[in-house]
A and B are shown apart, each in its own frame.
Chain A
Amino acid sequence: LAKTTQPISMDSYEGQEVNITCSHNNIATNDYITWYQQFPSQGPRFIIQGYKTKVTNEVASLFIPADRKSSTLSLPRVSLSDTAVYYCLVGDDSGYSTLTFGKGTMLLVSP
């Protein structure tokens, strides 16, 4: 399983764009990159998933360079409610893989 490395914490202010980068040097050819958000005492919530280049949905964008050894989750114009822990996970979608959580990034958004 590919190991992921993220910053332990990040600080931002309301209205700013936040970019969280995840390193996954040993990513395999069949692996996808998935980001989850977790609030205290809640289960993780799926944010976005991608394989290469750029993926965008209504809440975030995911940028993946050609070598796929890293990825960047971009949150546009964050609000206080975006304060949470963000996890980057790598795994294939064969139906046989398990998701292993790293330490995640604690994002604190201030007024």
Chain B
Amino acid sequence: GAVVSQHPSWVICKSGTSVKIECRSLDFQATTMFWYRQFPKQSLMLMATSNEGSKATYEQGVEKDKFLINHASLTLSTLTVTSAHPEDSSFYICSAREYSDRASGSSYEQYFGPGTRLTVT
């Protein structure tokens, strides 16, 4: 299957600083990427949908000015957590959607990155 990478895999930052997380589709082009957040022992929560060359669509309750998303190319999306606070500490996971032209018909398949553990002190 297709591979999605994230960098860094973990990061510790001080309260009030900003941190950028990169998401790359390594062997395919992704017009759409997604950002999720997962707190301990909870499910993944969709934060935003990122389309290449356009503004991201944020889910209700997610502050777009705090979680800046840039999808400047077909293989890279970035999430910047601005003015991070301890409550932003979480596991951030990106995913990328690949268009698949199968014999049974075309479809989109979604692949997930390994996640980034953010700890804000």
Q: Is the CB of B107 within 8 A of A104?
A: no
Interface residues of A in 82-111 (CB under 8 A from B): 87, 93-95, 98-104
A94 to chain B, nearest CB (A): 7
Q: Is the CB of B49 within 8 A of A101?
A: no
Question: Complex: how many Å from CA A42 to CA B93?
Answer: 9
Main secondary structure of the interface of B (DSSP, over half): strand
Partner of A43, one of B1, B43, B113: B113
Partner of A95, one of B36, B91, B99, B115: B99
User: Contacts of B45 on A, CB cut-off 8 Å?
Assistant: 101
Q: Is the CB of A43 within 8 A of B97?
A: no
Count contacts on A: residues with CB < 8 A to the other chain: 21
Interface residues of B in 27-57 (CB under 8 A from A): 32, 34, 36, 43-46, 49
Interface residues of B in 1-33 (CB under 8 A from A): 1, 4, 6, 32
Q: Is the CB of A98 within 8 A of B44?
A: no
Contact with A along B44-81 (1 / 0, CB 8 A): 11100100000000000000000000000000000000
User: Contacts of A41 on B, CB cut-off 8 Å?
Assistant: 91, 115, 117
Beyond A43-B115, A99-B34, A101-B45, list 6 extra A-B contacts (CB 8 Å). A34-B110, A41-B91, A43-B113, A44-B44, A46-B111, A46-B112
